Amino acid sequence: MKKYVPHKTDWAQIERFLINAEKKVSTARKILEFDEEACLQQAYEAMMKASLAFMFSHGSRARSIPGHHIAIIEFTEEHFGEKHVGLFAVFDQLRRKRNAAMYDEAGFISRQDAEEAVKSSRKFVAIIRADVEGRKPEPDDEDTVDS
């Protein structure tokens, strides 16, 4: 079964996803002071939203099946290759920690975990934005949708 399906490239939608990812990074930073688990969740969601924007910019999306978060991470990682391998390892670790925190009472999130999540998500979202912006068509291109 295919993990990905075609998705119409809508640059306005992609921009909304990137803005939402940036807001989630900002929210994660703000809630770090009082809720490490919620902080990690927001940081992870920021990385997911940015990855979805990245997939959409390549005309794809993940199928809505069990394991689709892994498929999203894999798609993004495959397109970046070895360039940011460490950051993708952190992304997958955040996915695992988030799952443990959600579904396992032993899923404790430390202050250090939450701080690393914020730092990594900020960097990740910036890398994705730079890549997407570099591939975005010029405003006078007829395929471009205004934001």
Tokens of 12: 């306005």
List the single range of 10-14, 112-116, 120-124, 137-141 with lowest mean pLDDT.
Answer: 137-141
State how far the Cα of 32 lies from the Cα of 37, in Å rounded to an integer: 9
Tens digits of per-residue pLDDT, 54-108? 999 999 999 887 778 888 888 998 888 777 777 878 888 887 787 777 777 656 7
What was the pLDDT predicted at 147? 40
Helix (H, G, I), strand (E, B) or coil at 114: helix
Which span out of 12-21, 39-48, 96-105 was modeled with the highest average pLDDT? 12-21
The dihedral formed by the CA atoms of 103, 106, 112 and 115, expressed in degrees to the nearest 10: 10
Are 94 and 120 a contacting pair, CB within 8 Å? Answer: yes
State how far the Cα of 53 lies from the Cα of 21, in Å rounded to an integer: 9
